[in-house]
Amino acid sequence: NAGVMQNPRHLVRRRGQEARLRCSPMKGHSHVYWYRQLPEEGLKFMVYLQKENIIDESGMPKERFSAEFPKEGPSILRIQQVVRGDSAAYFCASSPPNRGGHTGELFFGEGSRLTVL
Amino acid sequence: AQSVTQLGSHVSVSEGALVLLRCNYSSSVPPYLFWYVQYPNQGLQLLLKYTSAATLVKGINGFEAEFKKSETSFHLTKPSAHMSDAAEYFCAVSEGNQAGTALIFGKGTTLSVSS
C-alpha cells in the first residue's frame, strides 16, 4: 500500500506569491490533517478535514491560509501572498474512518518544505 | 487542554549506552500516547503507542516506553543505543482514538549517538 503522498517535496516562492501543497492520504483513509513544523517548535496542528468538509481549523492562521479536501483528488493547503515567516515544513497525515480497532495514530507523509525568498 | 512537555531538546549518548528521552503530558481524560521518530528530511514514523492496555509498551527498533499515570509520564527508553538511532523524537498525546482526534506534539528531542 502506498503511504501518504505529498508534493512537491520542496517548493521555493518569492514573497507575495502563492504556494499550493498537495496531499493524497493512504488508501482507505478519509481523514486528513495538516501540521506545520518550525525549527525548535515541533509540529503544530493546523487543520483537520474529511472529504468536502473542514472539521477543525483551530490551528490555521486567520488570513492567507486555506485548505480543502475535494470529493475527488488530493487535499490542498494553499498559502496566499507568502511571507518569509511561512518558510517551514508542512506535513500531511491521514487516518482511517471511525471504526473499531483504530488506535488513534496518524500516518504521516514526508512533508513539503517551503522556502520563501 | 492537552499538552506535552519533552524535557531536554538535545540528548547525547555513546553507542551502546542507555537511551532515555523524557515526556510528560497533561490531559483531562485518559490519554492515548505516542512516540514518533523523524530522520532528517523525512516524515514521522510511529515508534510505539499506548492505548490503555499494558502500561509497558514495546515498539520498533528495540524502543519501549512506560505509561505512569501517577507521574503523568511516558518516557522512551532503549537499553543500548546504535548510531542509526540518531534522529529527532516526538512525544504526542490525544484524548481518544476516534478518527478526527488530532495529536498534540511536544517540541521534540534530538538524539545524537557518538562512537
Residues of chain A neighbouring B97 (CB-CB closer than 8 A): 102-104
Q: Which of A99, A106, A112, A113 to mutate to test the interface with B (most CBs of B within 10 A)?
A: A106
B109 touching A (Cβ < 8 Å)? no
CB contact set of B75 (below 8 Å; sequence gap of 6+): B20, B21, B22, B23, B65, B66
By Cβ distance, the residue of A42, A107, A109 closest to B108 is A42
Q: Which of B48, B57, B105 to mutate to test the interface with A (most CBs of A within 10 A)?
A: B105
By Cβ distance, the residue of B45, B99, B106 closest to A42 is B106
What is the model's pLDDT at position A15?
A: 97
Residues of chain A neighbouring B45 (CB-CB closer than 8 A): 108
Cα within 13 Å of Cα(A117), Cβ side: 4
What is the model's pLDDT at position A101?
A: 53
| Contact of A11 with A19, CB cutoff 8 Å | yes
Spatial separation of the C-alpha atoms in residues B76 and B56, rounded to whole Å: 10
| Contact of A106 with A34, CB cutoff 8 Å | no
β strands within chain A, DSSP E: 5-7, 10-13, 19-24, 31-38, 42-50, 53-56, 65-68, 75-79, 88-95, 107-108, 112-116
| Residue A34 confidence (pLDDT) above 60 | yes
B98 touching A (Cβ < 8 Å)? yes
Cis status of the peptide bond prior to B30, with omega within 30 of 0: no
Residues facing residue A54 across a β-bridge: A49
Distance from CA of A14 to the nearest CA of B (A): 22
By Cβ distance, the residue of A56, A98, A103 closest to B102 is A56
pLDDT tens sequence for chain B (115 residues): 788 999 999 999 999 999 999 999 998 777 889 999 999 888 899 999 998 778 899 999 999 999 999 999 999 999 999 999 999 999 999 866 565 677 889 999 999 999 9
Q: Cβ contact (<8 Å) for A104 and B97? A: yes
| Contact of A74 with A67, CB cutoff 8 Å | no
Cα within 13 Å of Cα(A62), Cβ side: 0
| Residue A103 confidence (pLDDT) above 70 | no
